[in-house]
Structure 1
Amino acid sequence: MPSIKRRKSHLIFINITVAVWATVMFVLFPACSGDKNQFAEAITERDSLPSMKTLGVTTLVSDSGITRYKIITEEWEIYDKKNPPYWAFEKGVYLEKFDSLFHVDASIKADTAYYYEKKKLWELRGNVHIRSQRGDKFDTDLLFWDEKQEKVYSDKFISIEQEDKVITGYGFESNQQMTEYQIYDNTGVFTVEDTAPADSTKKTVAKDSIQTDSIR
Structure 2
Amino acid sequence: MKKEAPHRIFIRISILYKENGISRFFIYSPIMEEYSIYTLYPKGIQLFFYEKEDPKKYIYLTANWVKSTEKILYHIKGNIIIMNHNGDYLKTNEIFWNKKNKKIFNDKSTIIHYSDGSILHAVNGFEASDDFKNIKLKNTRGIFFSIIKTL
Q: TM-score, normalised by structure 1?
A: 0.59
Show CA shifts across 1:45-65 (max 9, x none): 6xx1111101011112468x9
Query: How far apart, in 1, do the equivalents of 2:24 and 2:70 lie?
Result: 13
The equivalences for 1:138-153 within 5 A come to 138-153=90-105
Question: Residue in 1 aligned with 2:32?
Answer: 76
Query: How far apart, in 2, do the equivalents of 1:146 and 1:62 lie?
Result: 21
- Within the candidate set 137, 142, 146, 1:183 is matched to 137
Question: Residue in 2 aligned with 1:113?
Answer: 66
The equivalences for 1:198-213 within 5 A come to none
Query: How far apart, in 1, do the equivalents of 2:91 and 2:8 lie?
Result: 31
Question: Residue in 2 aligned with 1:52?
Answer: 8
Query: How far apart, in 2, do the equivalents of 1:79 and 1:121 lie?
Result: 15
- Superposition CA RMSD, Å: 2.4
- Within the candidate set 78, 84, 99, 1:126 is matched to 78
Deviation at 1:100, TM superposition (A): 2.6
Show CA shifts across 1:102-161 (max 9, x none): 44431000000011125x121110101100233211000001121111111111000000
Q: TM-score, normalised by structure 2?
A: 0.82
- Within the candidate set 89, 114, 127, 1:173 is matched to 127
Q: Which has a greater percent of helix?
A: 1
Query: How far apart, in 1, do the equivalents of 2:106 and 2:56 lie?
Result: 25
Corresponding letter in the other structure for 1:99: E
Tell me: CA distance 1:142–1:51, structure 2 relative to 1, closer, same or farther (3 Å).
same
Corresponding letter in the other structure for 2:16: L
Unaligned runs of 5+ in 1: 1-40, 194-216
Query: How far apart, in 1, do the equivalents of 2:26 and 2:98 lie?
Result: 17
The equivalences for 1:99-110 within 5 A come to 99-101=51-53, 102-110=55-63
Q: Which has a greater percent of strand?
A: 2
Tell me: CA distance 1:151–1:133, structure 2 relative to 1, closer, same or farther (3 Å).
farther
Identity %: 23
Corresponding letter in the other structure for 2:127: E
Matched residues, number: 142
Query: How far apart, in 1, do the equivalents of 2:15 and 2:49 lie?
Result: 12
- Within the candidate set 21, 34, 38, 1:86 is matched to 38
Q: Secondary structure at the match of 1:49?
A: coil
Bigger relative CO (Cα 8 Å, ≥ 6 apart):
2
